Amino acid sequence: MTDREPEQLNVAPGAPHDSLLSETLSYVIGLGLALVLTGISFWVASTSSLWGPGVAAGLVVLAIAQMGVHLVFFLHITSGPDNTNNVLALAFGVMIVFLVMIGTIWIMGHLAANMGPTPEMLNLHTQRG
């Protein structure tokens, strides 16, 4: 073991690694965090010991943490100067996903209101028959 090896293991998550051991360790840590967050999510969803409305908020927080783990440890997206385009592309993708979600919810809400018969039509139908 040389003096260089401890420095090689001291690499920030998402930063390029210069040794196979350092990179493997980063992936193993990411996998461990992902498994722990997944286990906690299943526990939160299946337990009755938590306050009911807090379960949804807890799952949202755990999902955001899970996305952060995947982005940093597996996709290697960091906020460094060389990853500016990656961060901007990710932000644009998130914005598009939110726009599609909001548009879908808006369309579905208005579609249900416009597809059914109006109360006047229902009254007319019940009066005739």
Say if residue 123 is in the same domain as residue 71.
Answer: no
Mean pLDDT of 20-31: 88
Say if residue 15 is in the same domain as residue 42.
Answer: yes
Say if residue 18 is in the same domain as residue 63.
Answer: yes
Number of domain units in the chain: 2
Tokens matching residue 41: 């999510």
Q: How many CB atoms lie within 10 A of CB 14?
A: 20
Q: pLDDT by residue (tens digit) across 71-116? A: 888 888 777 777 777 778 888 888 998 999 999 988 888 776 667 6
Say if residue 74 is in the same domain as residue 86.
Answer: no
Q: Rounded to whole angstroms, how far apart are CA atoms 10 and 92?
A: 32
Say if residue 53 is in the same domain as residue 87.
Answer: no
Taking a C-beta distance cutoff of 8 angstroms, is the pair 73, 14 a contact? Answer: yes
Domain that holds residue 94: 81-129
Record the pTM. 0.58
Say if residue 85 is in the same domain as residue 70.
Answer: no
CA distances from 6 to 2, 18, 19, 31, 107 (A): 8, 12, 11, 22, 56
Say if residue 56 is in the same domain as residue 4.
Answer: yes
Q: pLDDT by residue (tens digit) across 31-82? A: 999 999 999 999 988 888 778 788 888 888 999 899 889 888 888 877 777 7
pLDDT of residue 1: 47
